[in-house]
Structure 1
Amino acid sequence: MNIQESVAFVTGANRGIGKAFVEALVQAGVRRIYAAARSLDTLNEVVAIAPDLIIPIALDVTNIEQVNAAAQTAQDVTLLINNAGVIGSGGLFAPNSVETAQWEMNTNYFGTLSMVRAFAPILQRHSGGAIVNMLSVVSIASAPVFGSYSASKAALNSLTQDIRAELANQGTQVVGVFPGPVDTAMTEGMSIDKATPIAVAKTTLQAVEAGLEDVYPDPVSQSAFSAIAEPLKAVEKMFAGWMPQ
Structure 2
Amino acid sequence: MKLHGATALVTGAGGGGHGRHFVEQLIERGAAKVYATARRPELVEIPGAEVLRLDISDSASVAAAAAHAGDVDLLVNNAAVSPGVNLVDGDPDTIRSTMDTNFYGTLAMARAFAPVLAGHGGGAILNVLSVMAWSSYDGANAYAASKAAQWGLTNALRLELAGQGTLVSTLMIGMAATPTMKAYAAATLGAGMLPEGLLSDPADNVRAALDGIEAGEIEILADTMAIEAKAALAGAPRSFDPFTGVA
Once the two structures are TM-superposed, the CA of residue 185 in structure 1 deviates from its matched residue by 2.5
Paired letter, 1:105: M
Paired letter, 1:162: A
Q: How many residues align?
A: 222
Q: TM-score, normalised by structure 1?
A: 0.87
Of Structure 1 and Structure 2, which has the larger fraction of its residues in helix?
1
Q: Is the 8 A contact 2:8 2:76 kept in 1?
A: yes
* Corresponding position of 1:59: 54
Moved more, 73-82 or 183-192: 183-192
* Corresponding position of 1:209: 214
* Corresponding position of 1:2: 2
Q: For structure 2, list consecutive stretches of 5 or more residues without a partner in the other structure.
A: 186-193, 235-247
SS at match of 1:89: coil
Alignment of 1:35-54 (within 5 A): 35-43=36-44, 45-46=45-46, 49-50=47-48, 54=49
Paired letter, 1:210: A
Q: Which residue, out of 70, 76, 80, partners 1:81? A: 76
- Output the CA distance in 2 between the equivalents of 1:105 and 1:128: 27
Q: 1:211 to 1:143 in 2, by over 3 A?
A: same
1:17 partnered with 2:18:
yes
Paired letter, 2:38: A
- Output the CA distance in 2 between the equivalents of 1:34 and 1:188: 27
Q: Is the 8 A contact 2:134 2:229 kept in 1?
A: no
- Deviation string 1:51-101 (CA, Å, 9 cap, x unpaired) is xxx1100010011111011001101100000000001114334452x2221
Q: Which residue, out of 161, 168, 173, partners 1:179? A: 173
Q: 1:88 to 1:227 in 2, by over 3 A?
A: closer
SS at match of 1:77: coil
Q: What RMSD in Å do the two structures reach over aligned CA positions?
A: 1.4
Q: TM-score, normalised by structure 2?
A: 0.86
Q: Which residue, out of 113, 127, 132, partners 1:133? A: 127
- Output the CA distance in 1 between the equivalents of 2:128 and 2:31: 20
- Output the CA distance in 2 between the equivalents of 1:228 and 1:29: 37
Q: Is the 8 A contact 2:85 2:141 kept in 1?
A: no
Identity %: 38
